[in-house]
Amino acid sequence: MTPSTPPGLGPPAPVDYRRLFRLDGRRAVVVGAGSGIGRESALALAAHGAEVVCADRDLAAAEATTRLAPGLTSYRLDVLDAEAIRLAADELGDVDVLVDSAATNVRKRLADYSDDEFDRVVDLNLRAAFRLVRAFGPGMALRGRGSIIAFTSIRSVTVEEGQGVYAATKAGLVQLLRAAAAELGPSGVRVNAIAPGVVETPLTAPIRAVPEWAAAYATKSALGRWSRPDELAGAVVYLASDASSFVTGTQLFVDGGWTAVDGRYTPPT
C-alpha cells in the first residue's frame, strides 16, 4: 500500500539555502553591545539583515557601536535593575532574538571571597540572565517564535584556582537556559548557550597584562592562540537564524578546542 498524506499536509516547501542565515525582518536585542563580544554580535546580526538594538549600561559605548554599521540603534539598559529590564521588554516591542553577553568576574580563591564580591558576580552572570529570560521569553512564546542566546564559558565545565564563583554562575546559567528551552520550546522559542574559550575582551585584560599568563593560555587550546570577539559572531548568527531551527537547549563551544585537549594552567591568584 502507498502511504497517504495526512489531511491538510503536503510535501514540505523547498528550502532556499541561500537565505538560511538571513535575518531580514527580525528584531534583535543584544545586551552588552557596547564592546567586545556583544559589539561584534550586534554587527554580525545587522549584517545578516536584522534590526538590532544595542543595549548597554554605558549608553555612549552602545552609541559608538551603532555608528559602525547601518541597522543599529542604541538603548541604555542596566541589567542589574529588574524594573529596567521589565520596561525594556515593554518598550522594545516584538523581539525575535535576544543575546546576553554581559558578564563579570572576581578572580580570587573561595576562601578570600567576600559576600559582596560573590553577590556581584552572581547578580550579573546569573540573576540578570534569569530576569532577561523572564522578561522577554513570554512575549516570544505568545508570538510563537524567538531565539534566546546567552554566553556561558568553558568554565561551565572546567575550572581553575580563582575561578570558582565565576564557574558556578556559568554552570548554573547552562541549566537555567536548558530549563527555559524545555519550558518555551512547545511555543516555538529556542534557547541556547555559547561557551567561549579565552577571548581578547575587556574582561580578560588583566590576564593579557601578565605575559606569562597570556602566553600559557594561548597554548592551552588545540589552535594554540586566543580568539577574537568577531570569531564568536558566527555562532550568534547561526543560533539566531533558521540554520539552527531544530537546535535548542544546547551549549555550543567556541573555544578553539580548549575543552577537547583539557588545557590546564595554574594562574597567580
Domain extents in the chain: 22-261
- pLDDT beyond 60 at 47: yes
Let me know: does 173 contact 131? Beta carbons within 8 Å. no
Q: Is 113 a catalytic residue?
A: no
Q: State the pLDDT confidence band at 8, using cuts at 50, 70 and 90.
A: low
Q: How many percent of the chain have pLDDT more than 70? A: 93
The pLDDT assigned to 52 comes to 98
Let me know: does 169 contact 126? Beta carbons within 8 Å. yes
180-191 burial, b for 16+ CB within 10 Å, e for fewer?
bbeebeeeebbb
The pLDDT assigned to 199 comes to 94
The pLDDT assigned to 2 comes to 47
Q: State the pLDDT confidence band at 6, using cuts at 50, 70 and 90.
A: low
CATH superfamily membership of 22-261: NAD(P)-binding Rossmann-like Domain (3.40.50.720)
* Burial of 122: CB neighbours in 10 Å, binned 0-12, 13-18, 19+: middle
- Over residues 132-145, mean pLDDT: 98
- pLDDT beyond 50 at 1: no
Instruction: Point out the catalytic residue in the list 75, 166, 217, 238.
Output: 166
Residues 6+ apart with CB under 8 A from 224: 218, 256
Let me know: does 35 contact 62? Beta carbons within 8 Å. no
Dump pLDDT digits (tens) for 86-130. 999 999 999 999 999 999 999 999 999 999 999 999 999 999 999
Dump pLDDT digits (tens) for 169-220. 999 999 999 999 999 999 999 999 999 999 998 888 888 899 998 998 888 8
As a whole number of angstroms, the distance between CA 136 and CA 90 comes to 9
